[in-house]
Structure 1
Amino acid sequence: MNTRAVQTDSDHARSDRDALREKADRSELVERITRAIPDDGRVEVLEGLTLHRSSKPTEPLHSVSEPALCVMAQGAKLVHLGDNHHRYDPYHYLLVTSELPIAGEIVEASRDKPYLSMILSLDANLVSSVMVEAGHPAPSNASSVRALDVSPLDNDLLSAMVRLIRLIESPDEADVIGPLIKREIVFRLLQGEQGRRLRHMAVMNGSDHRIASVIQKLHDDFDQAMDVERLAEEVGMSTSSFYAHFKSVTDMTPLQFQKQLRLQEARRLMLTEDLNASTAGYRVGYNNDAQFNREYKRLFGRPPMRDVHRLRESADAAAF
């Protein structure tokens, strides 16, 4: 028998098995998320693992992201970062490697087929540990790496996510097996299309390390006046180089980044501390009420108090 024909038949058989496994995993993921979270909302079902369900599309919902892997079982979502828009669905995963002001909107969801997703928090120490164990080298150049992106979800990563969510119904095993599966998930990510981005999250060398320090400074001092030339000088860059590297990582200029942090914090203050718009704006660094109201409406689509009133009537304020 022709050796090439035998090899071709074997490849076809393997491909068929992979397709069947993928179909079974996707079906199981939908079934288990539906069982674990029967109503709309977000629930942390295991340490670091949150499930999200929505039976209807949403408008853009704003938040500050954390490093995380987002895998969807059903539906579709758009995540807005600066001027860029990232769509993901059951065939693509979202990876976030820094704290970013983002907006997310569910674009495909219904009562019969609700939006269902898993959000796994990522820890830089865990990523570093898996990198060392797997022999992955640290990034060797200083080029900037975008802090949020979408990639195809392969069968091995999908299978690991299914095995992780199974632990919801096996709590006695979760403490022992859960960390092992999380390590596998990080390993799969390091092996995949976004592996370089994940390595940068753990190591943050070169220009990315300097941009990461600026991002942290902006988070800590978002209510203070920004001096871009001084920030660039502190990280050893020219102003033009600093602008270019910052935007390549965050999809925003430093001023846009700070503005979104300020406005999101003002929104939180009005919601949780019942502050009026003028006081909230002043607390986050605005000395001009008209400017605050104008920029708030431009970002959130409504004047401050109308927006807060609407949010109080809404049960779901999750961005991704």
Structure 2
Amino acid sequence: MTLQIVAGTANPALAGSAAGVLGIEPATTVVERFPDGELRPVVDGLRGADVYLIQPTSPPVNEHVMELLLLVDACRRAGAERITAVIPYFGYARQDRRGRAGQAIGVRVVANALASAGTWRLIVVDPHTSALEAICAVQVEMLTAVPFLARQLGTGPLGEQAWEGTVVVAPDLGAVKLAEHYGRLLSRPVAVIRKTRLSGTSVIAEELVGDVRDRPVIVVDDMISTGGTIAAAAEAVLDHGAAPEIVVVATHGLFVEPAMERLGRTTIQQVLVTDTVEQLTAPEMPHSVCSVAPLLADAIGRLHRDESLDDLLART
């Protein structure tokens, strides 16, 4: 089977970069949009191919999910031998359980729809739920960008010397394993904040376990959406005597309003994210982007050659 990369419209630059690392050109893809909002993707030259369709389901999530489903069907009807959906940011992954009766489990619905459309396998990067593999009816490869981000921390404006005395902070209990991963890579201790979510955009930090007094901190999370969790964490560490030099690291930088305004009111010195979500505008603060194109290209190349991904996978 020949290797083919198909790019959706959610992040064509990332798809193009990954294809470039692999030394190929993305397949010809056109996504027509009708006046009423309907999408009609058309792809060419995929008969018998091993297709990797790169489309993060970033905001607007619903449109990008629908485009992904239609692209999978288009690839199938173009004669692709097998179709792997590469979803660097998997929207709806936060909806992995019911908070009360009558709620939908969104991640299960999207996963089932992808399988029904003809997806053979999924590749995701640092998904919000580690249960994704168990939820999906198809094979899931969960990659991690954490080693890439940890390495870039040492080459950014703060440099490796900033790790001296630094504490890695998990902004909530759900990020503890992530913080421990960063802590191992950076050889730094870990502190944990316990938060309570008041709404989809508002949280409060109630307790901090660990010593951050007079020490710079690195707050780590899988994503920055509205910035509520990160802003609450920044306030909490300052309340516990941390140094004002706060660095934030997250795989997925959604920056949904009012994230920029909210984070701009904190003492955060630097934000580091990846390009799993297309970064169209520079946030109103120091901001660095670490590309996951080499990670995706490495995984795609290995899967195409039926090689192991063991050292690229997220550990849960």
TM over 0.5, shorter chain: no
Q: Greater strand share, 1 or 2? A: 2
The TM-score, its normalising length taken from structure 1, stands at 0.25
Larger radius of gyration: 1
